[in-house]
Chains A and B, each alone.
Chain A
Amino acid sequence: MNALPRLLLATALATCPALMPAAVVAEDLIVGFTLDADTLDPANHRKRETETVIRNIYDGLLTRDPDMRVVPEIAEAMTQVSPTVYDFKIRSGIKFHDGTEMTAEDVKFTLDRVTVEGAMGDGQTSPRQGLMGPVASVEIVDGDTVRITLKEPWPILPAMLPNQQIVSKAFVEANGTAGMATMSNGTGPFKLGEWRKGDAIILQRFDDYYGGAPDIAPVGAACVERVIFKIIPESASRVAALLAGDVHIINELPTFSIAQVKANAGTDVMTVNGTRSFFLAMNLQGEVFDDLKVRQAAAHAIDKDLIIDRILDGTAARIEGILSPDAFGSSELPAVSYDPEKAKALLAEAGYPDGISITMDTEGAFKDTAEAIASMLTNAGIRTTVAVGESAQLTEKWRTAGKPKSGDMYFSSWGNGSLDPFDIFTPTHKTNDRGNSAGYANPALDALLDQAAVEMDAEKRAGMYREAELMINADQPYVYLWVPQDIYGVSKKLSGWAPSADSRINLHDACIN
């Protein structure tokens, strides 16, 4: 026998026992997750998936309970001193993962790092500055109270604060912004074990955890010893990993896999109302959709309930305005009925008795739904062709912020993680704003939105958004469609965990049985 075959045989024999699946260590809680974190620095990213991971390592001043109410986390209490001044009393006895005590100094440092221009070092400003509003200054007023002063009233501040996580001043100064990208020292329920880039983020329980928000029971150290975010970008593989028992939670379960996951003995499906509103933008600068009657015809042509039922498997809530039913200021609005005959009549009134031909832009991921909408529009006399484009291209084509645009119709969406109308209503409806893909311009609405953004009386503010919703419901710059639920696949071995509307995957209370 030659040396090579002998060596190969020996290797094969030696690895045989090793090839058998290793005994499963039951304590690891594994999440099959779509995307790796870009960075572990809470101040240096703008991505939801990154924030999902970071929020298991870092806690914020405030957080949200399962009902999406804002509650204190690192702060013990929040007091609004005046329309522009907020005081946060900092909880004592909170430790960072390296064992050092967290102080008001760390909170001030964190908020300065996000809000002050150039504070990230090397002349860089935090990309999260825009999420903190018009902050004028952050000061420590007595030993354990941090005061945020705003340049102008901004009632959304408490709703936006859960998005900022507190870092250790000493740790940042020692490691710099470059070090923060891959190292971490938070106050959250888990500390970083190992980050295998692109593959997994392995987190270990932090035994000295102060317990988290007292409003969210149970309070104490996390249930599981180890949590792993395992990155599986492909949906079919993520579903397979859940079915095979490799992972315990998967995010973004496709609707077509719901039945399969439910039918499998060891797995189930969990849903939560999402925060992303879907709509059809109609180009108001275009030739046909500048006419209200044509826009109304499009709205009457679409049977939203049928699409929600058949294509989205019942996992969406229909909307008649831009706000999701869970958002602040959302209210019952006049519903636009499904009535293709009325749509045809409206088209005829608008001077198109033979109907019109249009193109609808959409991204590949939504092609099926867009095709269904197009066939409904076509039935009602709006002959629609679906054109699939890439996200970045379509954004540039449609979100022109006031510059002239081409195109007829755009099947799109806008997210609203804060569940406050401020960051969905204004960008999509204010004249020339970033997300106003319809090109809608209504000075009365602009004034109302500006007023509502700074109104401190919650009831009055909600009333203003209702008025705004009625305005757009009548003007119909968009056909408002639905807010899909976030769908998760879970193992039946999992307990103590429920999905959250802000896409946070809070694993503090999750256990594996």
Chain B
Amino acid sequence: MSLSRLLERLLQLIPVLLGVSAIAFLMMALTPGDPVQIIIGDQSITPEQEAELRRGLGLDRSLLERFFIFLRNALQFDFGTSYYHRRPVSDVIAERLPATIELSLVALIVALVTAIPLGVLAAIRKNSILDRLATVGSLLGVSLPGFWFGLLLIMLFAVQLQILPVSGRIGYSSEVPTITGFLLIDTLLHRDLAAFGDALRHILLPAITLGLPMTAILMRVTRASMLEVLRQDYVTFADAKGLSRRRVLFRHALKNALIPTVSVAAIETGSLLGGNMIVEAVFGWPGLGRLVVESIFLRNYPLVQAAVLLYAVTYVLLNFVADILYTVLNPRVKL
């Protein structure tokens, strides 16, 4: 892809993001529920004090006024102050984002590492017991609700066998100064192997829970496309040439069979961010998903608006990456 084409694609993002900002703002502002009443709850307050609180949050202004203030500030990357944390929304989100990204990436790795070999094996040994088991397994993987599967894992590995922790990112005897915010990387950079192991033990169950539906989908995609490729003439030709089966499968067939897998994986990574909200709650994972759900219920407008925007940018960028990967893997495709 040429540089100008790349730039053009990036420029297309601008109207998309403007549209998303407007939707994020309106969605929150038009949802019933008054942030001030939620903040006060059952505690006593006089009408004057209530008005003062409303003024302090900027909620005494008209909807239109608030929208323009939001847009103006957002263009300068200022998303306002969280009603509850009383700190800039960008700070609050930045604290929670690494945990979410780390979990998503590990879930993605878990999914790729299990799904691709299983999918290939199922295709090669079509209709074998392994193939059937994998197919049934993938059906279960797509259908099991994450919160339920997560709780089952907790009951087995944490409560019964007591070999993995129920929740959190790392134990409290470990102290890891932040470098990247990703504990698995930071612990290695500090050469603290014990802490790395501890972080790995903590991330295992949530990553498996989060990665399960994706594993199932990727396995089916890989299996189907591998079967498709194996029927192609060039594979028959390679076989006829007397190439080893291994070489045919891995050098010729797999490379082409992985094209759909890669693009589905990139798009599904976006949905990992959505699945995070539930998995993070079940495993007490201190990520962004949980924070956003809590903020929606509390009508913490600035935080939700910024987070929706962030999700949208991520999703759009992931699609963009998928497109680029597609052209790399398959040079015949031009963007």
Residues of A within 8 A of B (CB): 14-15, 17-22, 25, 28, 30, 35-36, 38-39, 41, 44-47, 117, 123-125, 127, 129-131, 177-178, 181-182, 194, 196-200, 202, 226, 228, 230-234, 236-237, 240-241, 243-246, 390-393, 395-397, 399, 414-417, 422-424, 426-427, 434-435
Contact = CB atoms under 8 A, between A and B. Distances in A.
B85 A39 contact: yes
A117 B51 CA distance: 12
A399 B38 CA distance: 11
Contact of B40 (A130, A236, A397): A130
Contact of B287 (A182, A198, A226, A391): A198
Contacts of A15: 193, 196-197, 200
Contacts of A234: 147, 281-282, 284
A21 B99 contact: no
A422 B166 contact: no
Given A46-B43, A197-B286, A234-B281, A181 B198 contact: no
B252 interface: no
A395 B167 contact: no
B86 interface: yes
Contact of A231 (B41, B201, B286): B286
B156 to A, nearest CB: 10
B158 interface: yes
19 contacts: A14-B193, A21-B201, A35-B294, A177-B86, A181-B87, A197-B95, A198-B95, A226-B172, A232-B166, A233-B281, A233-B284, A234-B284, A236-B282, A391-B38, A391-B297, A392-B297, A396-B37, A422-B44, A434-B40
Which of B95, B168, B283, B290 gathers most chain A CB within 10 Å? Answer: B168
B38 A243 contact: no
B52 A117 contact: yes
Contacts of B99: 198-199
Nearest to B160: A244
B151 A198 contact: no
A115 to B, nearest CB: 10
B4 interface: no
Given A240-B158, A396-B37, A199 B284 contact: yes
Closest 4 pairs between A and B when the two form their complex, measured CB to CB: A18-B197, A392-B33, A198-B286, A130-B45
B172 A240 contact: no
A392 B96 contact: no
Contact of A199 (B53, B159, B169, B299): B169
A181 B284 CA distance: 22
A129 B32 contact: no
A200 B171 CA distance: 10
B42 A240 contact: no
A124 B56 contact: yes
Given A230-B168, A390-B33, A181 B85 contact: yes
A234 B154 CA distance: 12
A18 B99 CA distance: 21
B87 A244 contact: no
Given A127-B39, A241-B166, A236 B151 contact: yes
Interface in B172-191: 172-175
B271 to A, nearest CB: 21
A196 B168 CA distance: 10
Contacts of B129: none
Contact of B46 (A19, A130, A181, A200): A130
Contact of B42 (A243, A244, A415): A415
Given A21-B201, A127-B53, A246-B167, A46 B39 contact: yes
Contacts of A47: 41, 84
Contacts, number: 188
Contacts of A397: 32
Contacts of B85: 38-39, 181
Interface string B150-170: 010011001100110111110
A196 B86 contact: no
B49 interface: yes
Contacts of A231: 284, 286
B104 to A, nearest CB: 16
Contacts of A399: 37
B286 A18 contact: no
A121 B175 CA distance: 34
Which of A45, A233, A426 gathers most chain B CB within 10 Å? Answer: A233
A423 B46 CA distance: 11
A244 B159 CA distance: 5
A366 to B, nearest CB: 15
Contact of B166 (A45, A46, A198, A244): A244
A365 to B, nearest CB: 11
B95 A392 contact: no
B291 interface: yes
B33 A393 contact: yes
Nearest to B36: A127
B228 interface: no
A434 B154 CA distance: 43
Given A25-B173, A396-B37, A422-B44, A200 B168 contact: yes
B194 A18 contact: yes
A11 B161 CA distance: 25
Contacts of A426: 44
Given A131-B44, A178-B87, A423-B43, A22 B173 contact: yes
B163 A21 contact: yes
Interface string B276-289: 00000111101100
B193 A228 contact: no
B34 interface: yes
A395 B43 contact: no
A31 to B, nearest CB: 12
Nearest to A247: B166
Contacts of A391: 33, 38, 297
Contact of B56 (A125, A181, A240): A125
A422 B42 CA distance: 12
A395 B95 contact: no
Contact of A130 (B49, B162, B201): B49
Given A39-B84, A232-B166, A233-B290, 20 more contacts: A15-B193, A17-B197, A22-B174, A39-B85, A125-B49, A125-B53, A125-B56, A130-B44, A178-B87, A228-B172, A232-B167, A233-B281, A233-B294, A240-B154, A244-B158, A390-B297, A392-B37, A392-B297, A393-B33, A396-B33
